[in-house]
Chain A
Amino acid sequence: MTRAESDPGSRTGGASHSGRDADAVVRIRDVWMTFPGKTRDKDVHVLEGVHAEVRNGEFVCIVGPSGCGKSTLLNIVAGFIPPTAGQVTVEGKLVTRPDARRIFVFQENGVFPWLTVAQNVGFGLQRREPTERDRIVHHYIEMVGLTGFERAFPRELSGGMRQRVEIARALAAQPSIIYMDEPFGALDYLTRLKMRADLIRIWQEERKTILFVTHDIEEAVQLADRVLVMTRRPATIKEEIRIDLPRPRDIDSPDYLRVRDRIFDAMGIDRTTGRIGDGSTLDEKSVVPGL
């Protein structure tokens, strides 16, 4: 049997069972996003009526073709940009701007290059008293495996280590939710595998809610409790796939491959040619203005 089940109800948002989910901490309700073009008919419609919810402690991945607007969606959820229409609530409150209780992890170069590893990790802890701050900083540096590099500057670290610094900085602020925007996208394959395994271990220790955007289907299947599959632009969430496989997940197991193929199918991708249903390929992205 396949343990991945599709939840078509999510397509209709408010009326579905997930729309009534009492545990949801993040509720995305009918979010539309249009970036203005030079003329009205050149407006870029990025998101069209996105509905989604994330439960407390859940690890949710949003996957979709490059340039589909998943990153835009995450930026709206985090409060960096206001949606054209619709609303996002977190813990019952309308999101209007970024909040220190929800930390965003950027794709790359999000750490401050003028601060050491320890100073970066402690960035959000300025109001704590120094000994407490040091304790927290030390704890999270250890958790991400950077002990010994406290006094190093980001330029002295590899790309993977810099992402670890940023993850530690996010964790140290002790947020309830972490938003991750393709945080491993710029890393090489082996580093990415290692980072995923470590992220899962950290998530299991910390039990934070994580909303993770990626274009990498394998990554989503390895990480997520639930995968939200987005369509091409103008994007909406086309399908929701629950993944009940035990962790750590073997990327060769038949169950894993079955889930992966479900997502390929949901995105309408031909697995040998990379073509999407209508004949175009994933790489044919156009740049979204503003992001």
Chain B
Amino acid sequence: MSSAAPLARGKSQRRLERYVLPSLVGLLFLCVWDALVRISGSDLFPKPIEVARGIGELAEKGLLHKYIVASLFRVTWGFTLAMAVGIPLGLFMGWFKWAFQALNPMIQVLRPISPIAWIPVAILWFGVSDAAPIFLIFLASVFPIAVSAAAAVANIQPVYVRAARNFELSRFDLFRRVIVPATLPQIITGLRIALGIAWLVVVAAEMIAVSSGLGFLIIDARNAGKRYDLVVAGMVMIGLIGLGLDLLVRRMERMDVVRWGYHNQ
């Protein structure tokens, strides 16, 4: 059929754009990287193949697994605490204007302070332990979570609240059956942004405040023997895991209860 051909071509073209092109760009990147190292003659900065071997070495020693778990553990705790505080705080601020007026200026002052600047304070308070990076991750992600939750409440379509009032929902039911689902899409978007920040921060915190995790791997590989192959191996793992975390939250955005909230899909 004449109409089937363009359709089929459309499909294969989509596949080309989705998978083949990014793979080609990645391959090109590796080639340029390899070529540049060869041209420069550097014996410290690794070629891609050496980084791959480095990852293999770390995996063999069991360090890769251990450090990834350590980093993810801290992010999980810090981020969970940030959700536990940030979402209720944001909903509260979004619903009660006075709460927003009272708290927002403080948040806007705290928010631009880089989590890195808190590292000395975190060490002072928590010592060199898991608590320090967890605190830093919490600080870094709680504000974006709270701000997006507050904005989500402020953006609720008034018609939903009016319909709920018409059905004489109790305050608790209004919250549970209307406010939460109505704000969920925007809250999830806030979580995605905050998780990205949390992942950035854990690496920085681990470089200074603890002696395990992917951030520690990087700084340790450099300090202990100028093992730049392991430094870059750590960077690659951070990138891949960050991508994985983002994809995880994006999956949440495809759930039926929130899909309505994203217009361009």
Contacts and interface: CB of A to CB of B under 8 A. Distances in A.
Interface residues of A, number: 23
Interface string B150-184: 00000001011011011110000100011001101
A104 B184 contact: no
Nearest to B160: A112
A103 B166 contact: yes
Given A104-B162, A106-B163, A114-B182, A155 B259 contact: yes
A173 interface: yes
Contacts of A113: 260-261
A155 B159 contact: no
B208 to A, nearest CB: 43
Interface string A115-129: 100000001101000
A98 B257 contact: no
B258 A100 contact: no
Nearest to B163: A110
B157 A109 contact: yes
Interface in B238-265: 256-261
Given A78-B166, A100-B168, A110 B256 contact: no
Contacts of B178: 112
Contacts of A106: 159, 162-163
Contacts of A153: 256, 259-260
A113 to B, nearest CB: 4
A155 B177 CA distance: 19
B172 to A, nearest CB: 12
Contacts of B157: 109
A112 B181 contact: yes
Contacts of B162: 80, 98, 104, 106
Given A113-B260, A114-B182, A114-B184, A123 B167 contact: yes
Contact of B181 (A99, A114, A126, A154): A114
Interface residues of B, number: 21
Interface in A192-245: none
Interface in A173-196: 173
A78 B159 CA distance: 14
Which secondary structure dominates where chain B touches chain A?
Answer: helix
B152 to A, nearest CB: 13
Nearest to A173: B167
Contacts of A104: 162-163, 166
A154 B259 CA distance: 11
Nearest to A123: B167
Nearest to B173: A126
A124 B168 CA distance: 9
Contacts of B177: 123
Nearest to B256: A153
B166 A98 contact: yes
A109 B157 CA distance: 9
A126 B173 CA distance: 10
Contacts of B173: 126
Contacts of A102: 166
A109 B159 contact: yes
Contacts of A109: 157, 159
Nearest to B258: A114
A134 B157 CA distance: 28
Nearest to B165: A98
Given A103-B166, A153-B260, A110 B182 contact: no
Contact of A154 (B166, B168, B260): B260
A290 to B, nearest CB: 11
A97 B166 CA distance: 8
A155 B168 contact: no
A114 B255 CA distance: 10
Given A109-B159, A114-B181, A124 B167 contact: yes
17 contacts: A78-B166, A80-B165, A97-B165, A98-B166, A99-B166, A103-B167, A104-B162, A106-B162, A110-B163, A112-B178, A113-B260, A113-B261, A114-B182, A114-B260, A123-B163, A153-B259, A155-B260
Interface of A: 78, 80, 97-100, 102-104, 106, 109-110, 112-115, 123-124, 126, 153-155, 173
Q: Lowest 3 CB-CB distances: which A-B pairs, in order? A: A113-B260, A114-B181, A100-B168
Given A98-B162, A153-B260, 19 more contacts: A98-B166, A98-B168, A99-B166, A99-B168, A103-B167, A104-B162, A106-B163, A109-B157, A110-B159, A110-B163, A112-B163, A112-B181, A112-B182, A113-B261, A114-B260, A123-B163, A123-B177, A153-B259, A155-B260
